[in-house]
A = this chain, B = another copy of it.
Amino acid sequence: MDAEGFKEFGTEMMNFITEYLEGIRERKVLSSVKPGYLRELIPTEVPEEGEKWQDVMKDLERVIMPGVSHWQHPQFHAYLAAANSYPSIVADMLCGAIACTGFSWITSPACTELEIVMMDWLGKLLELPSKFLSCESNGVGGGVIQGAASEATFVALLAARAQAIRRIKSETGLDDGYIIGKLVAYTSDQSHTSVEKAGRLGGVKMRLLPTDEHLQVTLEVLMNAITEDKSKGLFPFYAVATSGTTNTCAFDDLEVFGDICRQENLWLHVDAAYAGAAFACEEFRYLMKGIDKAHSFNFNPHKWMLTNFDCSAMWVDNAKELEQTFEIDAIYLRHHAQGQVPDYRNWQIPFGRRFRSLKLWFVLRIYGKKAIQEHIRTHIALAHEFEQLLLKDGRFEIVAPVLMGLVCFRLKNRSNEENETLLKTVVERGKIYVVPTKVHGKYAIRFAICSKFTASVDMAIGFQEFSAAASDLFGKM
């Protein structure tokens, strides 16, 4: 494909994309294809000769779109938001054109340096403690773009593990294998599955601590767990607190986690994958009180800040801990500026990385601070609007405080099975898509505000779906 072919193809794709996104409301939000639908729609092998791009375009509606669940649909209320935006898509085009592999500074200094500065921009936007900013910590701390929050949790765990092994080894002379077998980490039973997974992959125990009525781990529970484990000869070394859980958007008390982790010498990582974006707004920063006591912090601009996946922003207060964990030397990797600049391969699990900071730069500049704040505030206001509709109806109860763009609710005085039937009925009607959770054993429906196209009318539509289905199933009252 030559340059002219690319421009024609790209223009046609932009037409397709704008028609897709601007007309997305007309589509069915959840795909209803059967498993295995796609294989029979396309050939079984790579074609011998190249095909025309026009033939590829023709297949998008035939092959791909029937199997797409539309995350950008205004009535997609499942999981949590997955961002996209036009500036971000254009930035990714440039990223693909430059196609540098930024494993070290020399491979394209702009790739590393724009990332350092964008992470400072983002950190300032959230008013993170200065220890996390490269520009304010003289490069001791700093930010890095990971692929996903799950990677950030795992990266922090691996660095904490390496740190703990070094420390315990020097104090006790025990060997690595023995120490790994005795390491123990802590998180709440409300944490995302990827936190438990990080423990498993790291080969260490990850205790899921029970939560109180606010879905928080209390000081007592955390302290008792640590004391108990120490008395068993285990080595507590790492804790993950969540700011905005996937289940209900609950916030751990970072003061509680922070104080105990400092006292007991545990690495505290804060997973704010979804809700961290809200700290761009002053009025929500009370929820991150205690963040100065954390060693690492992460949130996903690719969830709620208009930036396409993959863009998971992670900060650490001491980058040396990452470098000591991940760095391995090779002659072909050396360069003249080593030591003066980060080589980001040593801040992450994979070796290669692309020029992801371009997305952030484009998005932060073209939207600006005010529009980003407005995007957050709009979603939260919509969630409260939906909450009010439910409460006014009288048949529903809200099972967790609505703090961000997520409403968790259920039919009052109805069993888990009845609530599950309600959810299934609504999803089968096909107008909106939601998934469930459980709160203290009670089945609840999660209604998340996800798309930037979601508006007030969609709260009415969503409410109507639940209200009508509830009436059909259980009568008006």
Contact = CB atoms under 8 A, between A and B. Distances in A.
A141 interface: no
Given A99-B82, A125-B46, A328-B196, A349 B201 contact: yes
A475 interface: no
One complex includes copies of this chain to the number of: 2
A69 B107 contact: yes
B109 A31 contact: yes
Contacts of A117: 38-39, 42
A332 B247 contact: yes
Interface residues of A, number: 151
Contact of A9 (B56, B86, B135): B86
Interface stretch (A289-297, A382-390, A431-439, A464-472): A431-439
A368 B51 contact: yes
A113 interface: yes
A67 B10 contact: no
Nearest to A1: B86
Interface in A1-30: 1-3, 5-7, 9-11, 13-18, 20-22, 30
Interface string A98-121: 111100011111110110110011
Interface stretch (A87-95, A249-257, A394-402): A87-95
Interface string A47-59: 1111111011000
A193 interface: yes
A334 B181 CA distance: 32
A50 B331 contact: no
B94 A93 contact: no
Interface in A306-334: 308-310, 325-326, 328-333
Given A82-B99, A110-B66, A366-B50, A90 B6 contact: yes
A150 interface: yes
Contacts of A369: 46-49
Nearest to A99: B84
Contacts of A97: 16-17, 20-21, 72, 84, 89
A100 B68 contact: yes
Interface in A398-447: 435-438, 446
Given A47-B365, A354-B310, A368-B46, A33 B109 contact: yes
A100 to B, nearest CB: 5
Interface stretch (A170-178, A216-224, A454-462): A170-178
A367 interface: yes
A71 interface: yes
B110 A349 contact: no
A278 B369 CA distance: 48
A60 interface: yes
A470 to B, nearest CB: 21
B56 A365 contact: yes
Contact of A49 (B18, B66, B148, B368): B368
A98 B68 contact: yes
Given A31-B110, A196-B328, A351-B149, A368 B47 contact: yes
A341 interface: yes
A50 B437 contact: no
Interface string A155-197: 0001001000000000000011110111000000000111011
B55 A365 contact: yes
5 contacts: A20-B98, A33-B109, A52-B366, A177-B178, A194-B350
User: Ordered nearest first, which 3 A-B pairs have the shortest CB separation?
Assistant: A177-B181, A67-B110, A84-B99
